[in-house]
């Protein structure tokens, strides 16, 4: 029986499977465990089930000499020092596939919400600003028949593209699986939606030059990771009208502090990282994360491993 630390209670009953086989301590505080607290709790543990909000850095990994399996409750692993884990021979699990459809649903929902001005309209009703119907009031832009640029042609980008078929959109894809150049996508798209992982090559992928290259009538959608977008440049783009609007499910940091300049920008919709936030998806993520951890602790190959090269080592 291995000692494990889980940084948050998870939806569903997946943790019962972990508790049945191992000694699992679950953090019960409000929000993520503070950095030093996390380091202390992981010291002496063989397994760690972390969340995107937990910084599993090289120092934490070094402070846990008995650690031999990490499972991250997310598709991305940018919160984990993958190199440090790999050097130690520690497999790092993640949860791809199960959140693809929910995140794609939200991406399309954000396109509709920001282009049709739904949050603004809802506020107008509640604040008593809707006094009469007018042909020119609250005009937005259509998603159907629009040109949508998908940056990143992986699972989620592909799921978004399939949904847009029903809207009769022209879909441009730039990325490893896409035939369109990034420059063409920026210039032609009415909506640009981001679906790339966060890494050194994608950090601030969308900054001032890219925003200026977009149509003044275009919208930027981000359900990937906050640091992919230069938020200072985005705030300026919205204030000065370089683009028509933006909808973000992710920011840098998360959450944005009160008074952050980005929140003062016009034509901006920000929601609190809801891409996978459905009962079915979050419970499926928990099952996947627990399966990864159980496999890692049992000396078996994780079903979804972010550093599979550790299994290919000889000797």
User: Among all residues, which ones are annotated catalytic?
Assistant: 225, 254, 273
71, 78, 216 from 8: Cα distances, Å? 13, 18, 43
Please tell me the distance from the alpha carbon of residue 7 to that of residue 4, in angstroms, as a whole number: 10
Q: Which residue from 241, 196, 249, 240 is spatially nearest to 218, judged by alpha carbons?
A: 241
Query: Token digits for 209?
Result: 């030059």
Q: Which residue from 2, 7, 57 is spatially nearest to 28, judged by alpha carbons?
A: 7
Please tell me the distance from the alpha carbon of residue 4 to that of residue 296, in angstroms, as a whole number: 12
Please tell me the distance from the alpha carbon of residue 108 to that of residue 80, in angstroms, as a whole number: 29
> Phi and psi of 127, rounded to 5°?
-95, 5
97: left (phi over 0), alpha (psi -120 to 50) or beta: left
| Residue 9: strand, helix, or coil | coil
Sheet containing 3-6, strands listed edge to edge, beginning at the edge strand earlier in sequence: 23-26, 3-6, 47-51, 69-73, 92-93
Contact 300, 82 (CB under 8 A): no
Give, for 161, the enclosing helix (H) or strand (E).
helix 155-164
Query: DSSP characters for 245-283?
Result: EEEES--SSSSPPTT-GGGGSSSEEE-SS-TT-SHHHHH
């Amino acid at each position: 029986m291995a000692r494990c630390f889980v940084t948050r209670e998870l939806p569903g009953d997946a943790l019962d499977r972990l508790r049945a086989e191992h000694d699992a301590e679950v953090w019960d505080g409000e929000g993520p465990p503070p950095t030093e607290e996390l380091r202390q709790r992981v010291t002496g543990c063989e397994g760690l089930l972390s969340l995107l909000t937990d910084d599993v850095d090289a120092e934490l990994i070094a402070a846990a000499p008995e650690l031999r399996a990490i499972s991250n409750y997310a598709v991305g692993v940018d919160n984990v020092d993958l190199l440090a884990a790999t050097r130690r021979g520690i497999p790092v699990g993640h949860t791809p596939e199960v959140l693809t459809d929910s995140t794609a649903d939200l991406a399309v929902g954000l396109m509709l919400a920001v282009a049709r001005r739904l949050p603004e309209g809802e506020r107008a009703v509640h604040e008593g600003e809707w006094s009469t119907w007018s042909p020119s009031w609250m005009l937005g832009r259509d998603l159907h028949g629009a040109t949508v640029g998908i940056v990143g042609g992986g699972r989620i980008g592909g799921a978004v593209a399939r949904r847009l078929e029903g809207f009769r959109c022209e879909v441009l894809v730039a990325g490893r699986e896409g035939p369109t150049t990034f420059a063409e996508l920026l210039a032609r798209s009415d909506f640009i939606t981001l679906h790339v992982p966060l890494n050194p090559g994608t950090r601030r992928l969308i900054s001032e030059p890219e925003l200026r290259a977009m149509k003044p009538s275009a919208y930027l959608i981000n359900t990937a990771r906050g640091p992919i977008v230069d938020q200072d440049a985005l705030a300026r783009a919205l204030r000065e009208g370089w683009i028509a609007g933006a909808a973000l499910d992710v920011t840098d940091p998360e959450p944005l502090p009160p008074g952050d300049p980005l929140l003062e920008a016009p034509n901006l919709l920000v929601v609190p990282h809801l891409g996978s936030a459905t009962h079915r998806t979050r419970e499926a993520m928990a099952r996947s994360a627990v399966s990864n951890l159980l496999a890692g602790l049992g000396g078996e190959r994780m079903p979804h491993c972010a550093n599979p090269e550790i299994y290919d080592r000889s000797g």
